[in-house]
Amino acid sequence: MYQLIIFLILQSHSANINFMAKGKDAKPHIGIYGRRNNGKSSLINVLSGQDIAIVSEQAGTTTDPVKKSIEIPGIGPSVLIDTAGIDDTGDLGKKRINKTLDTLRIIDLAILVLSNNQFDEVERNMTGKFSENEIPYIIIHNKEDINPSTPEFRRQLVSEGYAEIIPFSTVQNPNITAIIEAINKLMPETAYHTKSLIGDILSYGDTVVLITPVDLEAPEGRLILPQVQLIRDILDNDCIAVVLKEHEVESYIRRMSPEPALVVTDSQVFAKADAAVPPEIPLTSFSIILARNKGDFQNYLKGTPQLSKLKDGDKILILESCTHYVTCDDIGRIKIPHWLNKFSGKKLEYEVVSGLSKLPHKINEYAIVIQCGGCVLTKRQILNRLGPAINAGIPVTNYGMAIAWMQGIYDRAIKPFVQNGIIY
């Protein structure tokens, strides 16, 4: 049987190669907040250079959060979120405000839009929410062409510990530069500077073997995002990526010289990979790499062993980051519950929540939380997602780490990143 090896030569600085791009949500998120009719939607239109958000003189035009992807100099691709007014009224208004507050779980930076020299309880409550969630924020006083902010108003806010106000008008010489400079100053670097996935454990010219099963869950004609991200990371670190299906691994490694520096497998074929890869060659999974890169790896390490302590009737929460068509090979909804039932020997209940949807029950009703790799989310979004469980003392783990534990190869799977109990 002949094998064809195709080498893809990528020019590092080419602007035309975009198939390796990050997931649609793995970008810095900026929430725009303020009272009704303060000009939040107009601000988004000015910043994006497009009429994306509907604007009107009538208060309450924006009813649900609306996302818009833009490019911010110094930051790169980002997402602006237009929200309903934080002073909305009535039963429907309260629901809109709740949806607005829900966005605090996914943003990295907030912009509070004022007008008419107004900063009262509504704004104080909102800035308090920013502080509670450790979200940096910018204050903009809009409609300067109609009713400019007074020196006294600005001094009062500064004296109370708030940031200096950026005067702004969406219709008269918009001071976009000042806003961009403030965003660059306050945006956490972790929101847009993603550290290398495995570059810190590789050396120049190393070969990394990637085991990528092609089954019913694999998308037609392409690789899944974690596989693509890791290939790009390997190339960025001047190393070599070899991509194989699981039944080719043993024969390929036997012929390979020198041996690969690392083998990375899809978690669902962990057992096959463990049997095929010699014990002296480091082995881990795509999901565990993502767990270290953007998950709460320390708490995953604490929580994973709790899988051995489950009892009859325990409820398991499985968190998926994306929504997708469910097949009979679905890793989160089908395979993990099947494996965990077999491993524990207990009668367990499972609930699966996709995306960043609200949980169906209180977090303390669950015995453990199993989070996917989170390839389409930012680290902040994942940490916010896991925060309630960790704060309540509920153990958390990750798809790959849970599978490795259940299949008896956990110590080997985390060894590339943990030595003598120390994460590096």
pLDDT in tens, the chain (424 residues): 333 333 344 343 333 323 223 333 568 999 999 999 999 988 988 888 754 433 444 444 445 678 888 888 888 889 999 999 999 988 888 899 999 999 998 899 999 999 999 999 999 999 999 999 889 999 999 999 999 999 999 999 999 999 889 999 988 877 789 999 999 999 988 777 667 899 999 999 999 999 998 865 666 778 888 999 999 999 999 999 999 999 999 999 989 888 999 999 999 899 999 999 999 999 999 999 999 998 999 999 999 999 999 999 999 999 998 755 444 468 888 999 999 999 999 999 999 998 777 888 899 999 999 999 888 888 888 998 999 999 999 999 999 999 999 999 999 999 999 986 677 6
Q: What pLDDT, on a 0 to 100 scale, did the predictor assign at position 70? A: 87
Which single residue is written with the structure tokens 């996914």?
106
Can you give the pTM of this predicted structure? 0.70
Q: What pLDDT does 374 receive?
A: 86
- Asked if 171 and 142 touch (Cβ cutoff 8 Å), the reply is no
Provide the CATH number for the domain around residue 351.
Answer: 3.40.50.11410
- The residue assigned the tokens 């490795």 is 404
CATH number at residue 62: 3.40.50.300
3-state secondary structure of 281: coil
List residues bridging with 137 in a β-sheet.
110
CATH number, residue 266 = 3.40.50.11420
Q: What distance, in Å, lies between the first and last C-alpha atoms of the chain?
A: 42
Do residues 37 and 163 both lie within one domain? yes
Q: Are residues 187 and 209 in the same domain?
A: no
CA angle, 8 then 12 then 15, to 5°? 105
Helix, strand, coil percent values for the chain (each to nearest 5): 40, 15, 45
- The confidence score (pLDDT) of residue 191 equals 75
Structure tokens at 100: 């607005």
123/142 same-domain check: yes
Pairing mode, strands 166-167 and 396-398: unpaired
State the DSSP H helix or E strand holding residue 353, giving kind and residue range, or none if neither.
Answer: strand 349-353
3-state secondary structure of 305: helix
Residue 247 shares a structural domain with residue 389: no
| Domain range enclosing 211 | 199-288
Q: What is the pLDDT of residue 329?
A: 63
- 102 and 182 belong to one structural domain: yes
In a shared domain, residues 412 and 308: yes
Nearest residue to 352 (alpha-carbon basis) of 371, 325, 339, 376? 371
Pairing state of beta strands 29-34 and 76-82? Answer: parallel
**Which one, of 78, 50, 41, lies nearest residue 183 by Cα?**
78
- CA gap 311, 366 in Å, rounded: 12
Residue 5 lies in a domain: no
* Residue 134 burial (CB count, 10 A): 9
pLDDT of residue 158: 92
Q: Residue 414 corresponds to which tokens in the numbers above?
A: 């985390």
- How many structural domains does the chain have? 3
Print burial letters for 34-52: b (CB count within 10 Å at least 16), e (below 16): bbbbbbbbbbbbbbeeeeb
- Is residue 11 situated within a structural domain? no
Residues forming beta bridges with residue 315, ordered by sequence position: 349
What whole-number distance in Å separates Cα of residue 264 and Cα of residue 266? 7
Helices 286-294 and 399-406 pack at an angle, to 10 degrees, of 130
